[in-house]
Chain A
Amino acid sequence: MNSTTEKLESSQLSSETISPGQRAWLRFKANKRGFYSLWIFSFVFVLSLFAELISNDKPLVVHYQNEYYFPVFSFYKETEFGGDFETEADYQDAYVRKLLTENGNWMFEPLNSFSYTTISYDSDLPNPAPPSDFNVLGTDDRGRDVLARLIYGFRLSILFAISLTIVGTAIGILAGMLQGYFGGRTDLLFQRFIEIWGSMPELYLLIIFASIFQPSVWLLIVLLSMFGWMGLSDYVRAEFLKGRNLDYVKSARALGLSNTGIMFKHLLPNSLTPVITFLPFRISGAILALTSLDYLGLGVPADTPSLGELLSQGKENISAWWLSLSTFGVLVGALMMLIFIGEALREALDTRRA
């Protein structure tokens, strides 16, 4: 081939050969804010996954009469440690503590020796109590440790948000794909369905369902994802409508690809821009949704550690600044890092960037 100019160009292009995945990672790293946010966030999130080992009212290891016990993982009666009751040992009780620390016995406690349900009965101060050596971030109005509730609440919020986002996004993408690709009657019917479905009052349904069923995290995920997919499906649909007439889709058809092949391999990757753009906002939106439902008292059951519940306590005890400020800090930090990560992710997945 006498294509000197083109040959030249291609040899210039070949100066570096790294796989697409590596290039995406390089693009992600180029966004410093997102990169550090990812590290901090993953560190905190992974830590919170092991919340039971970090913040618990049971010791990690007990050495009693030359034997080792692991109260976090198993149930031990108080009588096993020389106590009086057949019930589970209360490791916060002064008498039990004495039994476990004297006569060469010892116990190794987690960093924060409260679980999210632990109530400090032997505090001198009225609840909510301000931060002290004992409760680093104070206690809430029922005498539970705020730090413990924050750790567990953070974990629940993030897990909730991630699953809600995954479910909602998957349904949204699928619905959008079907409408956009097949168009015509499918599209028409689907659009009308969305109009009807979308005009249902979500909040009332939540209240009604909360009174019919035992409120739980799972119920919330199901209810919220039933409504959360619609906004996204419109964007995906529009991208598909635009894309299905483009030449590369025609050439895929000419290559003999099936409908599903075209939808998933050609159109979907090119329609993900709105999905990825909205991803961080969806996650933070889901966190906020859970928080606000809890704040209103429509969310998870009362015992569950939740940021929203802490906030509403903070509102009722306005002078107990440690309640609202610490919760606010956790929320803002998490949401901000998620947004930064999302921004970097969007840049990383944009193959048109250098």
Chain B
Amino acid sequence: MSNENLISVKNLSVDFKVSDDIIHAVKNVSFDIPLGKNVALVGESGSGKSVTALSLLNLHDMSHVNYPSGEIVYQQENLLLKSDSELRSIRGRDIAMIFQEPMTSMNPLFPVSKQMIEPLMLHQGMSKEDALKRSVELLDRVGIVEPSRYIHSFPHMMSGGQRQRVMIAMALACKPKLLIADEPTTALDVTIQKQILELLADLQTDFNMSVLMITHDLNLVKHYSDHVCVMNKGEIVEQGSIQGVFESPQHSYTQHLLNSQPTQQIQPQFKPTKTLLQGSDIRVYFPVTKGFFKRKIDEIKAVDQVDVMLSQGETLGIVGESGSGKTTLGMSLLRLQNATGEIIFDGQRLDNLKESALRPLRKSFQVVFQDPFSSLSPRMTVEQIVGEGLLVHFPKLSSTERLQKIKQVLYEVGLDESILWRYPHEFSGGQRQRIAIARVVILEPELILLDEPTSALDVSVQKQVLELLLELQHKHKLSYLFISHDLNVIRSISHRVMVMQQGKVVEEGETQQIFNNPQKPYTQELLNAAMI
């Protein structure tokens, strides 16, 4: 058994020094990566999975990190004891790594060719011509069309999926025995994600390579890994084969994670009562201009002839990949984005109102944004953030009444009133999103636009936030426009679903009908890629 293992991690602990504190990021972790297998490290943010992976290559900033215990055995040698120069010959050649963010992990100043031939010349002593030739072959292998053209392009000229392919090609350049993939598809759309993962699986068998995949996505692990290690707070709480762990999870944390997968949470039958929002023929065109006089040469149709209807108390899920225009559509409906088309909210036309006339009406339709880290002003206290809308729309409230309302709404979203004077950076992502929800709910709106409200959150927190949203909807008869790329989330919360692609509505209908019996090929492809 032991000689089949490419790498064995034994009792690894990693400590971080932060000023005077020591943080035990990883505690006594042991696992093996067998030859030619895909091992997944799964956990929520802060669980220590990336730290563990970086330790394999000792890519930490050594002034802050030390290893109190453990060894990483690779070819009968402990990697932790190796000098930096010895490690450098292993990095890239034997063990390669790809990162989450294909936008930032490539140097924007150099063309692909330059970045690809470097490891080839360094580790394999190839000449420049050979290295270039090999690079083109590799790009071809990872599925880049016209590799000889793309080899000379710069990173910004490629899409996210292409960049991730190039990153994989670069990692494969020296035929590594182990590929560490740190959230390789998190930044990509579902259909691209599927292509990349299939490519990885394909290459794994081709090169007889082991893969260590770091991810938070259990769905992905289930489909592509052989072996899984579940991490929580720096410890591996459970490990085993995919079947074993998924079918009979032993540890309570694993069970908790598996139970946090969004499930159908609403009554599928919905009887529309009163139409709250009606948008017809919504269009947002961005002109493409050229030259000094800004001649209009073309248009980008971000949203193209879309009709939307939403009843009171209903949730409409808008789903689509990045660039499909779903957020632009949402913003247009609330007049946060210039658009043409008729918008009727609660019997009143919004599209021809002036901004100043619109402002008092804004109370009734509110937005919750995706990123709870950037949507709260870092210099305002929770009290100021939540109470701000009251100051604008209910200026007559006395300060005690206002405080009373703030406390009440904080309680409603599951937060304690003791946080009133704290600043956003002191909270976790889930708590911040609760604050953002409190900020809009306090105005007693009728419609809330939820723009990917759970995408930045861990699964278990995501589930809590979804539950909170449902509870609030039930209590206040709220209507939601729920924008998401995550089909699982959309399915769990929406009454109706609208599928968008390139600014147009591809398919629209009851949630169950769309998910069980999709009509259009694009919807089918999307559902297939989401592995539901």
Contact = CB atoms under 8 A, between A and B. Distances in A.
A65 to B, nearest CB: 62
Interface string A18-41: 111001000000000000000000
B362 interface: yes
Interface string B478-498: 000000000000000000000
B510 interface: no
B428 A254 contact: no
B380 A261 contact: no
Interface string B134-177: 00000000000000000000000000000000000000000000
Given A1-B468, A352-B425, A247 B374 contact: yes
A20 B464 contact: no
A256 B380 contact: no
Contact of A7 (B334, B414, B467): B414
A269 B366 contact: no
A247 B464 contact: no
A261 to B, nearest CB: 7
A14 B418 contact: yes
B115 interface: no
A256 B360 contact: yes
A256 B371 contact: no
B416 interface: yes
Interface in B375-391: 375-381, 388-389
Contacts of B358: 256
B336 interface: yes
Contacts of A352: 378, 423, 425
B431 A9 contact: yes
A6 interface: yes
B464 A6 contact: yes
Q: Which of A7, A13, A272 has the most CB of B within 10 A?
A: A13
Interface string A255-295: 11110010001100110100000000000000000000000
Q: Which of B366, B378, B440 has the most CB of A within 10 A?
A: B378
A2 B464 CA distance: 7
B369 interface: yes
B464 A1 contact: yes
Contact of A247 (B363, B366, B371, B414): B371
A19 B418 contact: no
B304 to A, nearest CB: 23
A9 B428 contact: yes
B379 A255 contact: no
Contacts of A257: 359, 388, 392
Q: Which of A3, A246, A258, A269 has the most CB of B within 10 A?
A: A3
B88 interface: no
B439 interface: yes
B367 interface: yes
B392 A256 contact: yes
B467 A10 contact: no
A247 B428 contact: no
Given A2-B467, A248-B377, A250-B367, A255 B439 contact: yes
Interface residues of B, number: 51
A211 B353 CA distance: 58
A251 B431 contact: no
A248 B464 contact: no
Contact of A6 (B366, B423, B428): B428
B229 to A, nearest CB: 21
Given A6-B428, A6-B430, A256 B359 contact: yes
B524 interface: no
Given A7-B414, A17-B418, A351-B423, A251 B360 contact: no
A11 interface: yes
Contacts of B223: none
B426 A13 contact: yes
Nearest to B436: A251
Q: Which of A11, A17, A272 has the most CB of B within 10 A?
A: A17
For the complex, would chain A's binding face be called helix, strand, loop or mixed by DSSP majority?
A: helix
A252 interface: yes
B359 A258 contact: yes
A5 interface: yes
A23 B367 CA distance: 31
Contact of B421 (A9, A20, A253, A261): A20
B388 to A, nearest CB: 6
A44 B415 CA distance: 48
Interface string B330-374: 000010100000000000000000000011111100110111001
B461 interface: yes
B260 to A, nearest CB: 11
Contacts of B423: 20, 351-352
B520 interface: no
Given A6-B428, A6-B464, A14 B416 contact: yes
A251 B420 CA distance: 19
Interface in B455-469: 460-461, 464, 467-468
B128 interface: no
B388 A19 contact: no
Given A20-B421, A248-B374, A351 B334 contact: no
A5 B418 CA distance: 17
B392 A351 contact: no
B77 interface: no
A261 B377 CA distance: 13
B130 interface: no
Interface string B409-452: 00000111011111101111011001010011001000000000
B379 A351 contact: yes
Contacts of B334: 254
B416 A10 contact: yes
B414 A13 contact: no
Contacts of A266: 377, 380
B471 interface: yes
A351 B378 contact: yes
Nearest to A268: B379
Nearest to A272: B379
A150 B434 CA distance: 59
Interface in B226-242: none
A269 B381 CA distance: 12
Given A6-B428, A14-B416, A266-B377, A254 B371 contact: no
Contacts of B374: 246-248
B362 A256 contact: yes
A127 B392 CA distance: 69
Listed from nearest, the 8 A-B pairs whose CB atoms lie closest are A14-B418, A256-B362, A247-B375, A269-B379, A1-B414, A254-B367, A248-B377, A247-B369
Given A1-B468, A10-B416, 14 more contacts: A3-B414, A9-B428, A10-B415, A14-B419, A20-B421, A247-B369, A247-B371, A251-B439, A252-B377, A266-B380, A269-B380, A270-B377, A270-B378, A352-B378
12 contacts: A1-B468, A14-B419, A247-B370, A247-B374, A248-B374, A250-B369, A250-B375, A251-B436, A255-B362, A256-B360, A351-B423, A351-B425
